[in-house]
Amino acid sequence: MSGQMRPACSVWLLLVCLVLYSRLKVAASAPTCTNGQAGCHVLSLANLFDRVIQHSARMHGISNDLHSEFELYFLPSKNQIGRVSRNCHTSTILTPNGKENAQRMAREELTEVILKLLVAWGDPLWHFHQSLAHNHEFSNFSSNKSLEMSDMVHELRKGVQKVIEKMKMLGIIGNSLGGLGSSESLLAPVSAEWRLMKDYDLLYCFRRDSSKIQNYLKILKCRIVPEHGC
Amino acid sequence: MADVFSPGLLLMLMMSSLDWLSTPGSAFLFDRDQAKSAPLEPHFTECVSRDLETFRCWWSPGSFQNLSSPGALRVFYLRKDSPLSEWKECPEYNHLNRECFFDTSHTSVWLPYCMQLRSQNNVTYFNEEDCFTVENIVRPDPPVSLNWTLLKVSPSGLSYDVMVSWEPPPSADVRGGWMRIQYEVQYRDRNTTNWEALEMQPHTQQTIYGLQIGIEYEVHIRCRMQAFTKFGEFSDSIFMQVTEIPSTDFTAPLTLILIFGTVGILIVIMLIVISQQQRLMMILLPPVPAPKIKGIDSDLLKKGKLEELNFILNGGSIGGLQTFSPDFYQDEPWVEFIEVDEEEADSREKEDDQASDTQKLLAPPQPISDHRTIRCSETFRHPEEVFDHGSCYSADRLEEDSKVQMDAPPPGQAGDKESSTEFAERTPALDRCRAPPVQTQTGTPQTWVNTDFYTQVSNVMPSGGVVLSPGQQLRTQESTPASEHGAQTKGKQRDESGDMDGQRQKEPQFHLLVVDPEGSGYTTESNCWQNSTPSNSPNPGAGYQTIPPPPVEIKPAASADANRLPYILPDSPQLVAPVADYTVVQELDTHHSLLLDPTPIQSPPPCPSQPPLKTQIPVEYITPDLLGNLLP
C-alpha cells in the first residue's frame, strides 16, 4: 500500500507545485511590456481605463467621507463655499466646468488637466496626513483615511501616466504631452499656497478636485474606448 | 494648524449630539426651520440638479405675501469663477413654479454658486448659506423600465428568487460616463409598511432572494451619484407574486433516482458484508479467549465424559484439581446402618450425645486417634438393617458425636432384606475397636435423640426416613469380585495412587468383611483393618451404596490392618462400622432414596500405631458414571 501511495503522493505534490507556480506567475506584477513582447500579460486600454476610473472613484469616496467628518467637527455655521473657493491652490489650473466643455476639449488637453491635478495634490495630501497623524485630537480612522487618500493620489498618478503611455503607443494621442518628466513642469505654476490652507479648506478643495478627476477620466474613456460601460 | 483644532474640539463637544451631517447645498432648509419666530423673509427652498448639467432653484416669498406676485422678486446668482465675478439675473424664469432654471451654458460644475433674491425696491434677501456647487445638489431621476423575472423556486416550494432589472434614468448621462449612479432597491410585502433595503450597487439589475410564495411584493428603486449623499426620487413600484407551482415533474425523477441509488448502495454494502462476513466478524467482534483450567479440557464436559473428568478432578493427572479428599475413593458405594439400643443407647447416648455434642462444639476437629467411644456391639433389631452396637467403646472420637440415628428399616428396598440378612451375618465385621458414633436405632423409626450435630445420612428411606451413617462406619467389601471390580474402577480413577495393588491385596482379606449384602457397601471396618477396597460393583437394587474411602490415607494402616484382619475378623463382633460425620449423597436410587457415600475409614484407637485417618471428611463424590456403575 505504501508503495502505491508514494508515487501518487509525489505526483500530487508535483501538481500542486505546478499550480502554485502558475498562480504566482500570474499574480506577480507583469513586467512592463514594450511593443507587445511575447509572454507579457498585456492589458488593453479599456481595462486600464477601467482600473484608473475605479481608483479615482474610490479616492473621491474617501475624500467625501473625510470632508463630511470634518464638517461634523468644525460645523461651519455658514456655508464656506464662497470663502473657500478663493483659496484652493489648484484654482489656477484651468478645468472644464461642464460636460460639454469637457467633451469639446481635446484629448491631450483633458489628459493634461487630469495629470496636473493629480500632481498638484501629491504633496499637500501627504502633509495633511502628517498633521492628522501627529494631532491626537483626530481618531485613527481619520488618520488612516488621510493616509489612504495620499497613497491613492500617487497610485492614480502612476496609473494615469501608464494610460498616457499606452495611448501614445497606440497613437491615440500625440506626443505633445511631456510624459513622466513633465510632472515637474506641471508643478511650477502651482505655488505653495497650499501650506497656508487650513485642513478643512484643504479637504474641501480636494473633494472638489477628486470629483473633477473622476469625471474627466470617465469622459476620456468614453471618448477613446467607448465599449462596455459607457 | 493647531489653532483650528481647539475651537473645533469645543464645537464638536457642543454639537455632537446633533446630526449636522449636511452638505452646503442643503443648508437651505435648516436655517429657515430654526428661525420660525422671526417673520419669514423670501428665501430659496431648494436648488436641485438632475443631470449635473443643469439645475433649478425654487424660491418662496415667505411671509411676505405682497411679494408673492410674479415678478415681485428677482433672482440673482453669482458664479465664482473669478474674483471679479458679478451678480447676474436668472437666465430663465418659471414664475408658475417660482423656479429659476439654469441651462447647460449657465451651469458650471465644481464652481460655487450663490443665489440671491431681490425685490423691486432693491431689498436684497441673501443668505450666505445659499451657496453651493452643482455636483453637490445632484439628485438623479429614478430609474425606469423596472421588471422582474423568476430565477428559481426552492426545492421545498416555499420560497423563490427574483431578478429585478431596470434602466438608468434617461436624463443622466451614464453612457457618457458623466454621471456614475448607484441604485438602491427596496421591496416589501404589500401588506406591511416597512421596506427592506438592499445594498447600493451601480449595476442595473439586482437579485432578491428568499421571497415567499403566495405573497405579493412591491419593489421600487432610487438612485444617487456615487460618493454623494443626495438621493433622487423613488421610482414607480412594481408588483410581483408567485403562486404555488406544482413542479413535481422535476422533483419526482430526482426522488426516484435518490431512492434507487440508496437501495443500490445498500445492496452492495450487504453483499460486501455477507461475502466478508468472517473477516468482518473477526474485526468487529474479536473472539474472547475462553477461560481454561489447566489440565481440563472443556470438551470433556461437553461430551459428558465425566469419568475422565472426575479422574482429572480427583487428581488423576498431574496437576489435577485438588479435591477435599483426594484420597477417598468413590468407587464403592456403601451404606451403613447402625442401630443403637434404645434403652442403653438413650440413657447412655444421651449423656454421650450431650457430651459429644458439647465436645463436638467445643473441641476442634481432631484426628481419629482421639478417644472415641466405640460401640462394638450392635444388635440387629430390624431384620433389615438394625444393628446393635456392641458395647465396645473405644476412645472417644470426634466422630462419635455424630451419633447418627440410623433409620432402622430402610424401607422400600425389597432387596434389602437379603442385604439385611447378609448384613446381619456380617455384623461381626464391625469393629470392636471403634465405637461407632452412630447410634443404631431400634426397630422404631428413627429417634433423633442421640443425634450428633453433624452426621451423615446414609440413606433416605422411601418411607421418608433417613438412615444416618455412623461416624465410624467402616466400609467393607461386599464381595471380592465386587471389590475387585471396585478396585479396578477405582484404579481407573486413581492413577497416582499406588494403592490399587495394595488394595487388591487387601481385598481378599476383606472379603469376609464385606457387609453389603446387595453390593451396597456396608463397609464396617475398624481402624485396625482398614478397608480400602472399593466396591464399585453395581449393586442391584442396592439402596445403600458406599464408596470406599480413598485408600491413600489408610494405606499405612491398611497394611497393618490387613495383618490383623484375619485376626480380628472372626472374633470381632459385627460392629457397625463407624460412620463418618459427613457423607456425600451419591445418588438417588430408583426409589428416590439417597445413596450415601461411605464414610472414610478411621483408625481405631487401639491402633495407635496407625496414623489417624482423616476424620469424617467424607468428601466422597460420586460421578454420574460411577453411579451408572453402581446402579443396577
**A196: contact with B, CB 8 A cutoff:** no
In B394-552, DSSP assigns E strands to 456-460, 466-469
Residue B153: strand pairing partners: B160
- Helices B277-284 and B248-275, packing angle to 10 deg: 80
Report residue A140's pLDDT band, with 50, 70 and 90 as the boundaries: confident
Cα–Cα separations (whole angstroms), residue A58 to A41, A145, A153, A160, B75: 25, 11, 10, 15, 37
Residue B44: strand pairing partners: B59
pLDDT at B506 > cutoff 50:
no
The DSSP result for B26-38, as a single string, is GHHHHHHHH--SS
Residue contacts between A and B (CB atoms, under 8 Å)? 119
Q: Is B250 exposed, middle or buried (0-12, 13-18, 19+ CB in 10 A)?
A: exposed
* Chain A interface disruption, residue of B4, B130, B230, most A CBs within 10 A: B4
Please indicate whether, in this complex, the C-beta atoms of A98 and B107 are within 8 angstroms of each other: yes
Please indicate whether, in this complex, the C-beta atoms of A72 and B53 are within 8 angstroms of each other: no
Grid coordinates given for A67: 470632508
Question: Of B632, B621, B475, nearest to B538 (Cα)?
Answer: B632
The one-character DSSP state at B286 is P
Judge whether B581 and B456 are in contact, CB under 8 Å. yes
Residue B531: its pLDDT value, please?
Answer: 44
Amino acid sitting at position B42: P
Residue recorded with cell 432654471: B101
Residues B162-191: what's their mean pLDDT? Answer: 90
Pairing relation of β-strands B594-596 and B92-94?
unpaired
* Chain A interface disruption, residue of B106, B178, B229, most A CBs within 10 A: B178
Helix or strand run (H / E) with residue B424: helix B414-426
Rounded Cα–Cα distance for residues A44 and B90 (Å): 47
Please indicate whether, in this complex, the C-beta atoms of A81 and B131 are within 8 angstroms of each other: yes
CA atoms within 13 A on the CB side of B212: 6
| Percent of chain B scoring above 70 in pLDDT | 44
* Chain B interface disruption, residue of A80, A99, A217, most B CBs within 10 A: A99
pLDDT at B431 > cutoff 70:
no
Rounded Cα–Cα distance for residues A86 and B213 (Å): 60
Please indicate whether, in this complex, the C-beta atoms of A212 and B108 are within 8 angstroms of each other: no
Cα–Cα separations (whole angstroms), residue B452 to B67, B354, B398, B471: 145, 8, 10, 10
Q: Of A24-33, B485-494, B603-612, where does the model show the most confidence? A: A24-33
**B112: contact with A, CB 8 A cutoff:** yes
Residues B177-230: tens digit of each pLDDT: 888 899 999 999 988 999 999 999 988 999 999 888 888 999 999 999 887 888
Judge whether B357 and B439 are in contact, CB under 8 Å. no
Residue B112: strand pairing partners: B133
> What is the three-class DSSP state of B562?
helix
pLDDT at B485 > cutoff 50:
no
In B95-174, DSSP assigns E strands to 99-102, 112-119, 124-133, 144-153, 159-167
In B273-410, DSSP assigns E strands to none
Residues A76-109: tens digit of each pLDDT: 555 555 555 556 788 888 888 888 888 888 888 8
The vertex-B388 CA angle with B387 and B392, nearest 5°, equals: 130
Grid coordinates given for B344: 442403653
CA atoms within 13 A on the CB side of B273: 8
> What is the three-class DSSP state of A208?
helix
Residues A163-200: tens digit of each pLDDT: 888 888 888 877 766 554 455 555 544 556 666 667 77
pLDDT at B566 > cutoff 90:
no
pLDDT at B556 > cutoff 80:
no
Q: Which of A66-70, B199-203, B428-432 is predicted with the least confidence, judged by mean pLDDT?
A: B428-432
- Rounded to the nearest angstrom, the minimum Cα separation between A98 and chain B is 5
Please indicate whether, in this complex, the C-beta atoms of B111 and A97 are within 8 angstroms of each other: yes
Please indicate whether, in this complex, the C-beta atoms of B176 and A135 are within 8 angstroms of each other: no
Residues B586-601: tens digit of each pLDDT: 777 777 777 776 655 5
Please indicate whether, in this complex, the C-beta atoms of A218 and B180 are within 8 angstroms of each other: yes
Residues B349-396: tens digit of each pLDDT: 445 555 555 565 565 555 444 444 444 444 444 444 444 444 444 444
The DSSP result for B311-354, as a single string, is HHHTT-STTPPP-S-TT---S--B----B--HHHHHHHHHHHHH
Residue numbers in B near A84 (CB within 8 A): 112
**A82: contact with B, CB 8 A cutoff:** yes
Residue B276: its pLDDT value, please?
Answer: 86
Nearest-CB residue to A211 (from B4, B53, B135) = B135
**A91: contact with B, CB 8 A cutoff:** no
pTM for the full predicted model: 0.48
* Chain A interface disruption, residue of B131, B200, B229, B230, most A CBs within 10 A: B131
Cα–Cα separations (whole angstroms), residue B560 to B475, B550, B609: 16, 16, 9
pLDDT at B160 > cutoff 60:
yes
Rounded Cα–Cα distance for residues B60 and B64 (Å): 9
Mean of per-residue pLDDT scores for chain A: 78
Q: What is the ipTM of this complex?
A: 0.72
Please indicate whether, in this complex, the C-beta atoms of B104 and A95 are within 8 angstroms of each other: no
User: Looking at chain B from residue 228 to 287, which residues have their Cβ under 8 Å from any Cβ of chain A?
Assistant: 228-229
Pairing relation of β-strands B181-189 and B159-167?
unpaired
Nearest-CB residue to B175 (from A60, A68, A230) = A230
CB neighbours (10 Å) of residue A31? 10
| Percent of chain B scoring above 90 in pLDDT | 14
